Structure formats: C-alpha cells, structure tokens
Amino acid sequence: METNTGLEAAIGRKATVIGKPSAAFFNEALRTVGCGAGDVLVVGDDMLTDIRGAADCGMRSVLVATGKGTTPYNSASAGQPTFLLSTIASLPALVHSLNRKTHHAADLSA
C-alpha cells in the first residue's frame, strides 16, 4: 500500500522514505549537525535499528538495556554496541569519562 501519494502529489516529487538502520538516515543526521562519525555517540535501546545503524556508519554506540534493550539479540548482523548501560541514568558519567579521555589525549599530543 502506497502511503506517500498525497505528499508526492503536493510537492510534485517522488518521496524517499528513510529510517533506521539505513545508512542514509545516519549520514543525513551527521550532515545536518556537521559532525564526523567519530565525533558521535549513538544512544539507543534497539540492537537492530540503533546499534546496527551506528556500526554500519562507523559510529560508536551505547545500548541502554531498558525497553527493547532488554531483549537479547544473538544475531551477528545486529552488530555490537561500543558500550552497554543498564540504565540511561548512567549516560552522563559515560560521556564525562569519554570527554575526559579525549581532552587528556589532546593535551598529550600538544
């Protein structure tokens, strides 16, 4: 069933629908914010859409083991998260730790 015909008629163009885990989705997000893949940490609760999408685009990822993240995935095609958190409340400490390591490395190379 085609759901974009009204939109396409209104704008006079063929609609392109993208979403996770499409590389186009993640690359457009990178382009929009002006960051490289190595500068981004994708946080999600779904191995197949969030973690796989991030891995396919060379981004680091955090799987939060709440919601969908509580469902174990054994599929190698889903990729592996860079980090695993049991709760989103742990995210600020992780980001702080990563920032501290980045700044320390920059100080050493200066």
What integer is the mean pLDDT of 73-88?
A: 78
State the first-to-last Cα distance of the chain, in angstroms, to the nearest integer: 58
What integer is the mean pLDDT of 71-89?
A: 77
Is the pLDDT at 54 greater than 90? The verdict is yes
Q: Are strands 83-85 and 41-44 parallel, antiparallel or unpaired?
A: unpaired
Write out the CATH class of domain 5-109.
alpha beta
For 71, 75, 87, 88, 99, the CA distances from 92, given in Å and listed in that order, are 24, 29, 11, 8, 10
pLDDT digits (tens, 9 = 90+) for 17-30: 788 989 999 999 99
